[in-house]
Structure 1
Amino acid sequence: MNQQARALEKATASAAEPHFPLLADALPQIVWTASPDGEIEYFNKRWFDYTGISFEDAQGSGWQSALHPDDLQIYLDRWNKSLRTGENCEVEFRLRSASDASYHWQLSRAQAWEKNGQVTKWFGTITDVDLIVCRDLAERKQEEVFRTGQSQVLEMIARSEPLESVLARLMLLIEAQAEEMLCSILLLSDDGGHVRHGAAPSLPADYVKAVDGAPIGPKNGSCGTAMYLAKPVIVTDIFTNPLWEDYRGLAKASGLRACWSTPIFSGSGKVLGSFAMYYRQPQRPSGSEAKLTEVATHIAGIAIEHQRAEDELRRTQGQLAHVARVTTMGELTASIAHEVNQPLGAIVGNADICLDWLAGEHPDLWKIAEALEDISRDGHRASEVIRRIRGLAKKQLPQKITLDINEVAREAQELVNHEANMRGVTLLTEFAAELPAVSGDRVQLQQVLLNLLMNGMDAMSTTERQQRRLTIGTTRKGGQALVAVCDCGVGIEQAQADQVFKAFHSTKSGGMGMGLAISRSIIEAHGGRLWLEANSGPGVTFKFTLPSSTTEAHS
Structure 2
Amino acid sequence: MTALDLPLAQEDAVALLTRQTGILERIAVGGPLVGVLTDVATTYEDLVPGSHCSVLLLDRVAGTLRHGAAPTLPTDYSAHIDGMAIGPDAGSCGTAAHTGLPVVADDIRSDPRWARYRSLADAAGLRACWSTPIRGRDGVCGTFAVYHHEPHLPSAREELLVARLTHLASVAIDHDAVVGALAVSEERFRRAFEDNAVGMALTTPQGEVTRVNHALVALLGRPEDELVGAALDDVVVPLAPRRRGARHEEYDATAGSPGGGPLDLVVAASPIMDARGLPRALSVNVLDVTAARAAERERRARAEAEVAAAAAESANRAKTDFVTALGHELRTPLQAITGFTELLATLDLPPDRRAEALRHIGGAAEHILTMVADVLDVSRIETRSLPLSLRDVPVEPVVADVLAMVAPLAAAERVTLHTAPMTTTVLVHADERRVRQILLNLVTNALRYHRPGGRVLVGWSVDEGQVRITVRDNGPGIAREHLGRLFVPFDRLGRDADGGVGLGLPLARGLTEAMAGSLEVHSTPGVGTTVCVDLPAGRG
TM exceeding 0.5: no
**Normalising by structure 2, what TM-score?**
0.39
| Structure with the greater alpha carbon radius of gyration | 2
**Normalising by structure 1, what TM-score?**
0.38
